[in-house]
């Protein structure tokens, strides 16, 4: 009998988690007669009663397992912990807020079972219910990153997907600290089928992503999967050298032909500002990569577990 591991990362989801569990169980009973299930709830350092909810669910249902972090490590870390702990033949990643409809799971499972895919992933085709400015920047980001990165990033791709154990192992084998899953999923390859659906608003609670968090996540994605910005700095430098050389020639010729009236202070100041701006920007770009390398080299754990269901066996 096949077994599906359902991994749900939760950060302050005390309201959503019971709703999620109810809906998931409904789908399981209705659509999956001959399939074993395992729920892995990862508590990502929630400050509300999420952990208590998990323990409560564990009491009722031995299919439920939970992993509780010592603090908030971020969704990427939570997903990684879940993937490492999963024992199923197939593994799915879901959000606790029911934005990833469990009702799609049967279709995903059938596609893997019957059509030979290794992974069925989902993407939302609309960004309904999202601030327009956020959608705009998201679109710009995906255009940009697909130009400068080798792996393909799908616009609107969610983390919701069903994968074979083989693909999960490949992802778990990538132990990098700065995790950008959307990139990692396409990096490992395998046959992926994309399902599309309309955006669904979360059932309860509110989104954990501020604009600033998303911005930092975008930078993460770029530095993790592209080195083009580094090349960019060299190219800009080169262009500036050429321009400077031409300007020197122009000034020499002008001075020889017309004498040397001292002028041009305002333009000089502008140039100094502009060039030092470009330099600082390039330094910043290099700094981004350096800082990621720094964190990587320190080799810190991606997450720290405080307790799991194994610590609470009655
Ligand atoms: N999440 C998490 N750690 C965090 C932030 C979020 O585990 O630091 C979880 C959250 O509980 C939810 C999922 O990641 O299950 C997606 O978060 P959210 O719904 O806030 O993001 P959105 O759907 O708005 O992109
Ligand atoms: Mg959500």
What pLDDT digit, counting tens, does each position of 213-265 carry? 888 888 888 888 888 888 888 888 889 888 888 888 888 888 888 877 667 77
pLDDT tens-place string over residues 281-307: 888 888 889 988 898 899 889 999 999
Q: What is the pLDDT of residue 4?
A: 93
If you compute the radius of gyration of the chain from its CA atoms, what whole number of angstroms results? 25
Pick from 204, 151, 207, 171: nearest CA to 81? 171
Element (H, E) at 119: strand 119-124
Question: What lines the ligand 1 site, CB under 6 Å?
Answer: 9-11, 13, 44, 72, 74-75, 78, 95-97, 99, 202, 207-209
Pick from 88, 87, 93: nearest CA to 75? 93
CA distance 224 to 227: 8
> In the structure encoding, which two tokens stand for residue 79, read together?
């997903």
pLDDT tens-place string over residues 90-126: 999 999 888 888 988 988 999 898 988 999 999 888 7
pLDDT band at 8 (very low <50, low <70, confident <90, very high): very high
Cα of 97 vs centre of ligand 1, distance in Å, is 8
Q: What is the pLDDT of residue 162?
A: 94
pLDDT band at 10 (very low <50, low <70, confident <90, very high): very high
């Amino acid at each position: 009998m096949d077994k599906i591991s359902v991994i749900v990362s939760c950060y302050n989801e005390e309201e959503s988690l019971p709703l999620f569990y109810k809906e998931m169980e409904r789908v399981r009973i209705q659509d999956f007669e001959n399939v074993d299930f395992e729920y892995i709830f990862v508590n990502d350092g929630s400050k509300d009663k999420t952990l208590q909810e998990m323990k409560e669910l564990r009491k009722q249902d031995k299919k439920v397992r939970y992993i509780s972090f010592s603090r908030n490590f971020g969704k990427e870390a939570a997903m990684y912990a879940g993937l490492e702990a999963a024992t199923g033949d197939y593994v799915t990643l879901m959000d606790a807020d029911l934005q990833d409809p469990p009702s799609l799971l049967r279709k995903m499972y059938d596609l893997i079972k019957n059509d030979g895919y290794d992974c069925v992933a989902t993407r939302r085709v609309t960004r309904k219910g999202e601030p327009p400015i956020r959608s705009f920047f998201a679109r710009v980001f995906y255009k940009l990153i697909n130009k400068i990165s080798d792996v393909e990033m799908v616009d609107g791709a969610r983390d919701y997907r069903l994968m074979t154990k083989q693909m999960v192992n490949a992802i778990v084998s990538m132990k990098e600290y700065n995790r950008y899953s959307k990139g990692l999923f396409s990096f490992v390859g395998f046959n992926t089928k994309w399902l599309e659906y309309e955006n669904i608003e979360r059932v309860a609670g509110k989104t954990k992503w501020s604009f600033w968090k998303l911005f930092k996540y975008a930078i993460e994605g770029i530095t993790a999967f592209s080195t083009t910005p580094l090349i960019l700095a060299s190219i800009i430098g080169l262009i500036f050298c050429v321009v400077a050389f031409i300007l020197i020639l122009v000034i020499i010729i002008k001075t020889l032909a017309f004498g040397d009236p001292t002028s041009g202070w305002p333009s000089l100041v502008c140039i100094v500002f502009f060039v030092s701006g470009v330099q600082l920007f390039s330094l910043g770009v290099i700094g981004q990569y350096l800082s990621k390398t720094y964190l990587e080299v320190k080799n810190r754990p991606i997450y720290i577990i405080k307790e799991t269901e194994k610590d609470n066996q009655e």
